[in-house]
Chains A and B, each alone.
Chain A
Amino acid sequence: MKNLKIINVRFFAQTSSVLRMTGRELMKKKFSVVGTNVIREDGFDKVTGRAKFADDYKFDGMLHAVMLRIPETHAKINSINYLEIENDASIISIITSADIPGSKKVGMIKNDQPIFCDEVVVTPGDVLAMLVGEDVSRLRSALSKIKIDFSPLPVLTDPKKSLEPDAILIHPELGSNLIIHHPLRKGNIEKGFDESDQIIEQTYTTQLIEHAYIEPEAVIAIPLGVNGVKIIGSIQNPFSARRIIAAVVNLPLDKVQVIQAQLGGSFGGKDDIMCILSARAAVAAIKVNRPVKIRYTREESILESYKRHPYILNYKVGFTNSGKIKAMKIDILADGGAYCSMSPFVTWRSVVQATGPYEVENVHTDVRAVYTNNPYTGAMRGFGSPQPIFANESLMDEIALKLGITPYEVRKINGLKAGSITATGQKLQNHDVNLLTVLNVAAKDTDFLNKWKKYKKDKSIVKKYDFTKSVFNDSQFIEPDQLIKKGIGLAVSYRGCSLGAEGIDAAACYLSFQNDGTAYLLSGLAENGQGLRTTFSIIVAEELGITTDNIFYLETDTSRVPDSGPTVASRATLMGGGAVKNAAEILRGRFEELIQEEWKLKSEDEIVFRDNKILTTDNRSLITFKDLCKLAASRGINLSTIGWYKSPNVDWDEHTGQGDAYFTYVYGCQIAEVSVNLGTGEVYLDKITAVHDPGTVINKLGAEGQVYGGVTQGAGYGMLEEVTTENGLIRELNFDQYLILTAKDIGEIKPIFVEGKEIYGPWGAKSLGEPTLELTAAAISNAVSNATGNRFFNLPLNLEEVLLGKKLRPVEVKRGSLR
């Protein structure tokens, strides 16, 4: 419990001790490695199958654990009878809640999620107990012999009904289904609407989606006797896992060592679920005193893991006839599912960014997250931004259409500029506020205005299908040359970097040079497939004028490096990179002192670190970097250090939703060009142009990779992906039914980087991972509207939505081929 408070303390001002760029650095224009294309250091191992993922680890005497569940959405467990398997030799231990020495309930923010649900099941993924033994298939067969007596309880799946007075309570002890309410009040909303010439009110919905990381969950716990327990797993945030495991097994933090195996994708999805699985494995391993592995099938993964929040978003916007927005009233309801998880933070980002990147004088926003019996929702790449962006960027196009101006103009009139005040009352300063720059670059590169006007005019009559007459009359057939229509649409966004007022924001890095010029590098942030190790190696290489192949990135291990908070919020390059640069600077300082003394230089400004050598500014070669390390070591100089980077002040008033929410922002504009098949509702993605200002680009190849992946994921969210449930039970439990886009569904993706100036982060590098994903769906929806003349209010724009303006659902949860 004590540990959890650290995260719970939020919304407070931070003290400042921030690395700022020195004048020398700001003037420094030429990089040697930064901004070039560097192949990821883990790339070859991953494509050749040598990379070791969690499930690849095996230990002598290792046992396996399988989960006991019931196919119920909400039920009271009366009793669990293990009688029939008690003498089964294949079962070494039955692990239940009674085996937990510490916290029986955990959570990232609120401790509402049981490790084992032996009293009540509140969602079908819930696990009642666990069987441990040597043979997984025998353990699975034994599961069916356990007699569970339960009483089904009424099920709440509609978040709109969660707060009704007679709603059943998912967690009765909490007294309400409200997880969190974030209000935001700015200006005078009534006055704003009074000053408006026109008002639009609209409701949008977004769907539940799965992260779809390619590697399902896997973790091994190894008991270390008096030394506690060691965990190796597919874990996004080793320090969060350590905190939860320590609480559950009731050990101090130093007795829980968490090692991250190579991670096969996460996208924000291997946080809570992996903390819980690690804790279960740890409880079992300590009890049986043997290593215990948990490895999920895809079905279990989709069944139990958290998802992205579905939102219901009501927007009311008032604007003048000249296109200036005067007021926005926003009411957002997020379905948190059965557990709190990250809902308070996810929805906090929503409340900050809900107006979109626009100057709005009068804002009145309420964002609520509620409990239901649905699969629980938490962190996913985007984290509370893709939903409001879909709404506010659709709305901007609606305003434009109503006023007869272009989507470009309406954004230009209202878009944030340097010195603008955001919805939270924050003045944007100290960095390039590049919203209109990215908009202009994208519009110009795609010839947006001409195409948008042409496609808008070129619309044929889109047939409305009338299902009362299921057989066509002649007029319903589309002339063949009218079947495919082109459309273009844009979306812009701004995004607060890193954690903002969510909590303490600092990161560490360990850097240690050897006397032959090579180095060990390890950050407290984790490699989750985003290419962080390579980015960090580039930062060291740039600072010390060496090549990245001299740097060996160590295995992520909570016992080797300070807690740096979670690897989330697109904060790794900014915060972790800041710490790496700090470490490299500290060591560079020590080297400079030595060189100055050794070569009797007047000032350290004469020293240049370049091409694995040390030179003077007048190009005199002094020593190789390798020999410099040897020399330094022989003089007893410490060539190891811990770098540290702490974010500057942010502040937040949770009653008014006002404050400097984030210490800096990034800006993006994506333009989607599509062809729509008016006969089928198919949307073909011809091209996505993605213009982003991530600050300085450290690894160009990595940055482009982020764009390709983010756009593809964002397009899948816009067009295809959806987890649907029937009475809380998920239909799509594997990738045969849960469809994500393939390479064949994606046309050209064109990344363009506008590198704005920034005083924070390594050389002004900020965030890119999430910005690339958050606005693609909105851009596609606007493009499909441009092509068809119909607007879309409900994601995803799948075949039925585009053609009929609604979703159709199969009646049966189980597929025909399995019945």
Chain B
Amino acid sequence: MMPLIEILTPKNLNEVLSILSNHDKVLKIIAGGTDVVTGLKQESNRFIDAEILIDINHIAEVKGIEQRNGKISIGAATTFTEIYKNQIASKELPILKKAVSTIGSLQIRNRATIAGNFVNNAPCADTVPALLIYNATIEIESINSKREISLQEFLQGPYKTQLKKDEIVTRINIPVPPKTFVGDFYKLGRRQAVAISRITLAVLMELKENNINEIRIASGAATPIGTRFPDLEKFAEGKVVNDNFLRSLASKIGDEIIKLTGLRWSSEYKLPVVQQMFYQMLNRMTKRIK
């Protein structure tokens, strides 16, 4: 049942920050509402205490996509449809675009926002692995402070982040990777649309004469939250790409996931599939580069 909640619609970021500085009430920011509204309806503990919802859909400071100083800056309340249709994002961040295209349905993409995806920090958040391999950083503001940290650092655990009560994520900044980098995104769901991810994988790499110069690997849904694999990346760097190596890299992700996740009811399915599909993905990518 939907509780009675006050909804505020501030006109600019300063108003948002001043509302957030009021500690007497339980406040929640709402943008697309695809997590908040469903969470309220399902009486989720994460939302049910909310007394005030702050609607940030009309705050210019947290909207839009721009390119400056080699970075692409995406406003926190930019919808997935806006990202998908944006020319800069499409050209410079194809992996993010692919991740965005797999989310929910058109109706959900029309409402759901990029920051909402990682502020909610569900294990299955589709854009998180893509943002992680792009080394995304996020700007966080409160009435008294402003900080920029890496997304990886921001994410703490399932449905947990560093965000403090008086803070709001305003922008996501993504350094544009050099043209020599290639990447891909993979999602497995139980169906082809409106599917919660069972496994997501994102990879970005640069080859130099068939050697891996740099590789970034992230997964979601198979791990407790979207995660990079630093050990795996270190293991891969400098290695010659051949089929044997790709197989050993793919089986190593199995090890890494067991370390992070432990064995769960779903491991019997997810572990083999993540290795298999990671291998298939690496194979496709390296073939494309060659």
Any chain A CB within 8 A of the CB of B25? Answer: no
The interface residues of chain B lying within 8 Å CB-to-CB of A818 are 39, 42-45
The interface residues of chain A lying within 8 Å CB-to-CB of B105 are 742
**Inter-chain contact A483/B280, CB cutoff 8 Å:** yes
**Inter-chain contact B123/A816, CB cutoff 8 Å:** yes
Any chain A CB within 8 A of the CB of B153? Answer: no
Q: How far is the CA of A476 from the CA of B278 in the complex (A)?
A: 13
Q: How far is the CA of A473 from the CA of B44 in the complex (A)?
A: 42
Closest to B283 in A: A480
Q: How far is the CA of A140 from the CA of B275 in the complex (A)?
A: 48
Kindly supply a per-residue 1/0 record for chain A positions 779-816, scoring 1 wherever the CB is within 8 Å of any chain B CB and 0 otherwise: 00000000000000000001110011000111100001
- Once A739-B190, A741-B191, A817-B39 are accepted as A-B contacts, the answer to whether A799 and B272 lie under 8 Å apart by CB is no
**Inter-chain contact B1/A137, CB cutoff 8 Å:** yes
Closest to A483 in B: B280
B56-64, B91-99, B249-257 - the one binding chain A: B249-257
Any chain B CB within 8 A of the CB of A478? Answer: yes
Interface size class of A (residues with CB under 8 A): 35 or more
**Inter-chain contact B45/A819, CB cutoff 8 Å:** yes
Q: Give, as a whole number of angstroms, the nearest-CB distance from B5 to chain A.
A: 12
Q: How far is the CA of A679 from the CA of B105 in the complex (A)?
A: 25
**Inter-chain contact B39/A739, CB cutoff 8 Å:** no
**Inter-chain contact A470/B158, CB cutoff 8 Å:** no
Interface of A is mostly: loop
Any chain A CB within 8 A of the CB of B273? Answer: yes
Q: Give, as a whole number of angstroms, the nearest-CB distance from B277 to chain A.
A: 6
Kindly supply a per-residue 1/0 record for chain B positions 234-258, scoring 1 wherever the CB is within 8 Å of any chain A CB and 0 otherwise: 0000000000100110111011001
Any chain B CB within 8 A of the CB of A635? Answer: no
The interface residues of chain A lying within 8 Å CB-to-CB of B122 are 816-817
The interface residues of chain B lying within 8 Å CB-to-CB of A745 are 191-193
Q: Give, as a whole number of angstroms, the nearest-CB distance from A798 to chain B.
A: 7
Interface residue count on the B side (C-beta < 8 Å) = 49
Q: Which of A680, A739, A799, A819 has the most CB of B within 10 A?
A: A680
Any chain B CB within 8 A of the CB of A83? Answer: no
Q: How far is the CA of A816 from the CA of B45 in the complex (A)?
A: 11
Any chain B CB within 8 A of the CB of A471? Answer: yes
Any chain B CB within 8 A of the CB of A465? Answer: yes
Any chain A CB within 8 A of the CB of B231? Answer: no
**Inter-chain contact B268/A808, CB cutoff 8 Å:** yes
Closest to B279 in A: A477
Any chain B CB within 8 A of the CB of A682? Answer: yes
Any chain B CB within 8 A of the CB of A444? Answer: no
The interface residues of chain A lying within 8 Å CB-to-CB of B247 are 472, 474, 477
**Inter-chain contact A471/B268, CB cutoff 8 Å:** no
Q: Which of A471, A744, A811 has the most CB of B within 10 A?
A: A471
The interface residues of chain A lying within 8 Å CB-to-CB of B284 are 480
The interface residues of chain B lying within 8 Å CB-to-CB of A809 are 265
- Once A465-B272, A679-B276, A819-B45 are accepted as A-B contacts, the answer to whether A739 and B191 lie under 8 Å apart by CB is yes
**Inter-chain contact A680/B277, CB cutoff 8 Å:** yes
Kindly supply a per-residue 1/0 record for chain A positions 475-514, scoring 1 wherever the CB is within 8 Å of any chain B CB and 0 otherwise: 0111010010000000000000000000000000000000
Q: How far is the CA of A477 from the CA of B245 in the complex (A)?
A: 12
The interface residues of chain A lying within 8 Å CB-to-CB of B280 are 478, 480, 483, 679
Q: Which of B43, B190, B248 has the most CB of A within 10 A?
A: B190
Q: Which of B4, B255, B268 has the most CB of A within 10 A?
A: B268
Q: Which of B39, B44, B280 has the most CB of A within 10 A?
A: B280
Q: Give, as a whole number of angstroms, the nearest-CB distance from A300 to chain B.
A: 11
The interface residues of chain A lying within 8 Å CB-to-CB of B43 are 818
- Once A471-B254, A799-B190, A817-B122 are accepted as A-B contacts, the answer to whether A804 and B269 lie under 8 Å apart by CB is yes
The interface residues of chain B lying within 8 Å CB-to-CB of A800 are 268-269
Listed by A's residue number, 10 A-B pairs whose Cβ atoms lie within 8 Å are A470-B254, A471-B271, A472-B272, A476-B275, A720-B191, A742-B192, A799-B269, A804-B268, A810-B265, A816-B123
Extra A-B contacts (6), CB below 8 Å, given A467-B268, A680-B188, A816-B158: A470-B258, A470-B271, A736-B196, A744-B192, A798-B190, A808-B269
